[in-house]
Chains A and B, each alone.
Chain A
Amino acid sequence: MAAIWGIDDPLLRGDHGDSVSVPDPAAPDSIVRHILFLDGAGRATPYSSTTEDEPTARIFAGRDGRVWFTLVDRIQTAELRYISNSELLGLLRGKGKGAAAWPKASEVLLARARAEEWGEHLIDFRALKGRAAADVKTTVDVLFTKERP
């Protein structure tokens, strides 16, 4: 088992080989919808998922993608909200709390199980609502690097 992840350790994201998917700050803000990929592949989401687990990031990267890196410090410097794995698991109970509130408890629990297994942490881009798409992309480009910090 890998060492226990700490707040100064990198967060990883499996994504395209040449760029990181750009969130849509104005998209539906349900965390359950985001984690469970409800509304299908490529659904607009205000969140960017990251993981503390490198094998998980590699699976999401697929054979043509790559693993990208970021840090909690960078997320906070960009004035975006960081939702840690422990906070996420706290929100995903019963019918969910806050942005994780959802009509079906069974789906909240499914999302929690996935978040737990994937070691998932979220970056919440809703603070950039109303900003130009190019600005959001610039923020993403600053956050994620190909090299491990």
Chain B
Amino acid sequence: MILLSCSNCSYNGLQYGSIGLSVGYCVQHLVVLRCADETTCPRHLRKDLDAESREQEQVQHRKNFTHDVVQFIASEQPAEAPDAIDHDPSPLEEDLVGEAVTNWGFLGTNGTKIASLAQLHSIPGVRAELAMLSLGRAYVRTCLRNKGPWTSGFHIFWWTRRRLWEDPRIQVTDLRYQRSAVSMRRQFELATWSILMLRLQLISDVARVAPETDDLSALSDVQERAAEAVQTPDPASLAAWLQSEGNALLAKAMPYERYRAMRASLHKEEAEDADDG
């Protein structure tokens, strides 16, 4: 994975590291990314970094790549169909995750992105979770930039919290490439670790925009606490930390009773908005 490429962009929910399909899909440019490790665009939103670093890098990336098209990183030449991009996503719709991603924001009566995220949440497997986390982080960011409430990411937060230390159960068919520098077992471990960290990044994204007086804001650096505790990219150690320390932090910041009360309150607000509309 080239870190500045479309394969590491939050707007591409189909790939991250060695996990994913052989092609990506950009929900900004609405194109299939046929060589996502070689292309980028000014909207690139790194999915490996926390929100603070991600925003700093986005500013720099926009300076380096000014033409708003999918383009080759090396030459800055536009990526053209059919060899580098494709405007027809229909072959991706044969895949459940591909279908959900290519229909991003067009599901439900009103065509909402949260409906797409809910659909991804209901699909089993690590690729669906990857898409939910990746596009979910982009969704939370967009809501906040559009002056939406800090609770925009509340549902995704809870869905992620519920499976926090679960093994993402990566299958061999979930891997888009093999690397000979590490054993296959280690490649699986690194991929598993990257998904566990992505869960923490999403939790941190939501927590960091909560009011400072809210208990949830204490989780804004949860990925740092986890990384400092485990020292290396070891998924077993990280899962153990999540099950003990992480779970205790989350239970304090957002106990189930509070989640139910907030969910009821948000539901009421949504119903009132619908009535007003």
Contact B232 A38 (CB under 8 A): no
Contact B231 A37 (CB under 8 A): no
Q: Which of B240-265 contact A (CB under 8 A)?
A: none
Contact B53 A107 (CB under 8 A): yes
Closest to B225 in A: A105
Q: Which of A105-124 contact B (CB under 8 A)?
A: 105-110, 112-114, 116-119
Question: Which of A42, A93, A108, A110 has the most B CB atoms < 10 Å from its CB?
Answer: A110
User: How would residues 52 to 66 of chain A score, 1 for a CB under 8 Å from any chain B CB and 0 otherwise?
Assistant: 111110011011110
List chain A residues, Cβ under 8 A from B49: 36, 107, 110
List chain A residues, Cβ under 8 A from B232: 93, 109, 112
List chain A residues, Cβ under 8 A from B60: 39-40
Contact B227 A105 (CB under 8 A): yes
List chain B residues, Cβ under 8 A from A132: none
User: B179 an interface residue at 8 Å Cβ cutoff?
Assistant: yes
Closest to A85 in B: B181
Choose from B2, B226, B227, B233 the contact partner of A59 (Cβ within 8 Å).
Answer: B2
User: How would residues 19 to 45 of chain A score, 1 for a CB under 8 Å from any chain B CB and 0 otherwise?
Assistant: 000000000000000001111111000
Contact B223 A40 (CB under 8 A): no
Contact B181 A117 (CB under 8 A): yes
Closest to B38 in A: A62
List chain A residues, Cβ under 8 A from B233: 109-110, 112-113, 116
Q: How distant is A57 from chain B, measured CB to nearest CB, in Å?
A: 11
> If the complex has contacts A1-B183, A62-B72, A116-B186, are A37 and B3 also in contact, measured as CB distance less than 8 A?
yes
Bound-state CA distance A69–B100 (Å) is 43
Contact B187 A41 (CB under 8 A): no
Bound-state CA distance A39–B2 (Å) is 15
User: A70 an interface residue at 8 Å Cβ cutoff?
Assistant: no
User: B17 an interface residue at 8 Å Cβ cutoff?
Assistant: yes
User: A149 an interface residue at 8 Å Cβ cutoff?
Assistant: no
> If the complex has contacts A39-B60, A113-B194, A117-B190, are A59 and B37 also in contact, measured as CB distance less than 8 A?
yes
Contact B187 A117 (CB under 8 A): yes
Residues of A within 8 A of B (CB): 1-2, 5, 16, 36-42, 51-56, 59-60, 62-65, 85, 93-95, 104-110, 112-114, 116-119
